[in-house]
């Protein structure tokens, strides 16, 4: 039985390791078939993309093989490179030596560790812990989160995004997924269908379907969702990532934002505005948040500090309209905050003293330079092979490789050369529209000084694969 820590990091790595151990230990034997991706996704209640990435890593490292039209099967480990030493060193050691490690990983979920303000953060953490240790008692944190943090965040989003709210409307949660779980719970009695961008993040789709919602996919244009699709959707709730749509990178235009608000007002519907990645802009003037353009009564504003500070802080927050606050209080009155109080206090003081704004500026400049490096190298070395999609914001970009006819095949070949690249196909609900040749590249996790060399080596490897293999 596969056991995963749903609250732990990198689910696909957990799944990969669990399956790898099953193969090495003989629980899965040579020529055994693995469960179809969608079946395993449903059994484990995880996203299709998570299972797909785990399978792709197993495929790249030689544990399984793909049979077109049939599925995935366990490889004979004795045929792996280095298998001649198995008798001397043992199966696990020989398999470990045969793995090709990733030299460069264009992962879009991680951020560069060295850019985090560790020294300042350590001081604020020490102060918060000292403050807690000096108090006469240690109590549970309230169900909305620490008051100081909510006040600091309120000032921050009032100033940076024009969000209309008081600190009492802000609720802290342990990550965006948990925030969405709460939001979908408090709307559940009155809302049954939710409109989502297509393509979109699978994790969010899974959360709302787990709550019993029906999903209506809405096509994307280069200005945002298709308004005709929205008007015909009959949905009572809309989930959007308007600042930097995932995975397309599209920023919803101002006229379209106003059209979306008009639709919500006319249909008495709610909008969940996930404003992630709004901080990173490349020569563009930031557009106001949808919430700031509204009366504040039908938009639930949601954001996170994972991209601008650290995913490990697990700090997301959302702003509820006043009429939903009573429902929240009723449903969650016996809950306590999921984040440690001293973490929340440290973050509150860090924001209050202006360090978050300074760090956002630093990160934004760094990401702009990284995007420039990536863009320059790709145009210089792969102009006739790759098309880069324009990216006005965010920490990832899309590229199209017209000659690629198998996304999975190219990912596997690139991994065999030590490069981690990631496809977008699984993000489409309408798989008939899902492209085989569009890939998502993250540049946030790699230091600037390494990025140009990594991109040049990637370009050489890709050219070699295209010239050598049929894809």
In a domain, 283, yes or no: yes
CA distance 339 to 402: 45
pLDDT for residue 89 is more than 50: no
Mean pLDDT of 10-31: 84
What's the chain's length in residues?
Answer: 471
> Which residue, among 443, 361, 460, 417, has the nearest Cα to 112 in the 3D structure?
443
Residue 269 phi, psi dihedral angles, 5° rounding: -105, 160
Domain identity same for 34 and 138: no
How many domains does the chain fold into? Answer: 3
Strand segments (E) across 190-347: 193-198, 214-221, 224-225, 237-240, 270-274, 299-304, 316-319
Residue 161 shares a structural domain with residue 300: yes
Q: Are 300 and 320 in contact (CB under 8 A)?
A: yes
Q: How distant, in Å, are the alpha carbons of 277, 428, 471 from that of 432?
A: 28, 9, 19
Residue 70, both tokens: 């049939």
Q: What is the pLDDT of residue 412?
A: 87
Q: Are residues 179 and 299 in the same domain?
A: yes
Q: Same structural domain for residues 82 and 128?
A: no
Closest listed residue to residue 241, CA positions, set 319, 302, 162: 302
Rounded to 10 degrees, what is the CA torsion of 52, 216, 219, 393? -70
Q: Are residues 123 and 111 in the same domain?
A: no
CATH number at residue 41: 1.10.10.10
Distance CA 104, CA 454 (A): 6
Helix and strand numbers, DSSP H then E, in the chain: 17, 16
d(CA 195, CA 227): 11
Characterize the bridge pairing of strands 193-198 and 214-221: parallel
- Pairwise CA distance, residues 177 & 210, whole Å: 12
CB 263 within 8 A of CB 298: no
| Range of weakest confidence among 73-87, 106-120, 271-285 | 73-87
Task: Tell me whether residue 1 is in a domain.
Answer: no
The whole-chain average pLDDT of the chain stands at: 87
Whether 3 maps to a domain, the answer reads: no
DSSP H/E element including 397: strand 396-400
- Tens of pLDDT, residues 361-410: 998 888 888 988 998 999 999 988 899 887 666 788 899 999 898 888 89
Q: Which residues are CB-neighbours of 405 under 8 A, at least 6 positions away?
A: 436, 437, 471
Q: Does residue 444 share a domain with residue 392?
A: yes
Residue that finishes a domain, picked among 354, 382, 404: 354
Domain contains 269: yes
Residue 368 within any structural domain of the chain = yes
φ, ψ of residue 403 in degrees (nearest 5): -80, -5
**Nearby residues of 389 by Cβ (< 8 Å), 6 or more positions away:** 248, 249, 397, 398, 399, 400
Q: Are residues 79 and 226 in the same domain?
A: no
Bridge pairing between strands 170-173 and 193-198:
unpaired
Query: Cβ distance 337 to 144 under 8 Å?
Result: yes
Neighbours of 226 (CB within 10 A): 17
Residue 97's pLDDT band (boundaries 50, 70, 90)? very low
Looking at the structure, tell me whether residues 294 and 401 fall in a common domain: no
Same domain, 228 and 286: yes
- Decide which of 299, 326, 354 is a domain's last residue: 354
394 with 415, same domain?
yes
* pLDDT band with cut points at 50, 70 and 90 for residue 8: low
CA distance 107 to 443: 7
Query: Is pLDDT of 276 > 80?
Result: yes
Threshold 0.85, pTM exceeds: no
CATH number of the CATH domain containing 429: 3.90.1150.10
In a domain, 4, yes or no: no
**What CATH number does residue 330 fall under?**
3.40.640.10
Residue 5 maps to a domain? no
Domain that holds residue 20: 11-99
What SS3 state is found at 284? coil
pLDDT band of residue 469 (cuts 50, 70, 90) is low
- Who contacts 100 (Cβ-Cβ below 8 Å, separation ≥6)? 60, 61, 415, 416, 417, 418
Q: Which of 310, 332, 354 lies at the terminal end of a domain, its last residue?
A: 354
Residues 347 and 417 in one domain: no
> Please, which pLDDT band fits residue 145 given cuts at 50, 70 and 90?
very high
* Backbone torsions φ then ψ of 132, nearest 5 degrees: -70, -40
- State the DSSP string of 57-82: HHHHTTSEEEETTTEEEE--GGGSTT
d(CA 58, CA 52): 10
- Where are the alpha helices (H) located in 277-354, listed in sequence order? 290-293, 322-331, 341-352
CA 309 vs. chain centroid, Å, equals 14
pLDDT > 90: percent of the chain: 49
421 shares a domain with 455: yes
Domain for residue 320, yes or no? Answer: yes
């Amino acid at each position: 039985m596969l056991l995963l820590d749903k609250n732990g990091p990198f689910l696909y790595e957990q799944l990969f390791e669990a399956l790898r151990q099953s193969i090495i230990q003989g629980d899965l034997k040579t020529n055994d078939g693995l469960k179809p991706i969608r079946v395993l996704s449903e059994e484990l209640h995880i996203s299709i993309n998570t299972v797909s990435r785990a399978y792709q890593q197993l495929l790249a490292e030689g544990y399984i093989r793909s049979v077109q039209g049939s599925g995935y099967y366990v490889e004979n480990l004795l045929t792996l490179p280095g298998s001649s030493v198995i008798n001397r060193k043992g199966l696990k050691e020989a398999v470990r030596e045969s793995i090709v490690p990733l030299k460069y990983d264009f992962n879009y979920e991680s951020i560069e560790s060295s850019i985090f303000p560790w020294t300042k953060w350590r001081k604020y953490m020490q102060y918060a812990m000292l403050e807690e240790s000096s108090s006469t008692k240690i109590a549970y944190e309230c169900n909305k989160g620490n008051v100081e943090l909510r006040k600091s965040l309120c000032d921050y989003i009032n100033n940076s995004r024009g969000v209309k709210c008081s600190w009492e409307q802000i609720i802290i949660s342990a990550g965006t997924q948990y925030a969405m779980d709460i939001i979908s719970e408090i709307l559940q009695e009155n809302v049954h269908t939710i409109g989502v961008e297509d393509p979109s993040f699978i994790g969010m789709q899974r959360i709302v379907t787990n709550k019993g919602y029906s999903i209506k996919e809405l096509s994307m244009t280069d200005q945002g969702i298709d308004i005709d699709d929205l008007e015909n959707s009959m949905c009572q709730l809309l989930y959007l990532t308007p600042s930097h749509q995932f995975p397309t990178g599209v920023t919803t235009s101002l006229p379209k934002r106003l059209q979306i608000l008009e639709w919500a007002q006319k249909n008495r519907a709610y909008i969940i505005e996930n404003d992630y990645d709004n901080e990173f802009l490349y020569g563009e003037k930031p557009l106001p948040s949808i919430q700031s353009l509204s009366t504040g009564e039908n938009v639930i504003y949601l954001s996170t500090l994972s991209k601008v500070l650290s995913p490990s802080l697990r700090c997301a927050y959302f702003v509820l309209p006043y009429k939903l606050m009573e429902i929240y209080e009723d449903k969650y009155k016996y809950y306590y905050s999921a984040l440690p109080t001293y973490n929340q206090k440290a973050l509150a003081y860090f924001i209050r003293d202006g360090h978050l704004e300074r760090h956002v500026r630093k990160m934004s400049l760094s990401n702009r330079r990284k995007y420039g490096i990536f863009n320059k190298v790709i145009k210089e070395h792969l102009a006739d092979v790759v098309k880069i999609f324009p990216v006005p914001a965010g920490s990832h970009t899309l590229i199209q490789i017209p000659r690629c006819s198998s996304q999975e095949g190219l990912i596997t070949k690139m991994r065999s050369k030590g490069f981690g690249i990631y496809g977008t196909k699984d993000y489409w609900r309408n798989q008939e529209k899902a492209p085989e040749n569009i890939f998502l590249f993250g540049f946030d996790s790699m230091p600037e000084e390494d990025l140009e060399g990594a991109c040049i080596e990637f370009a050489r490897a890709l050219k070699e694969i295209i010239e050598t293999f049929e894809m």
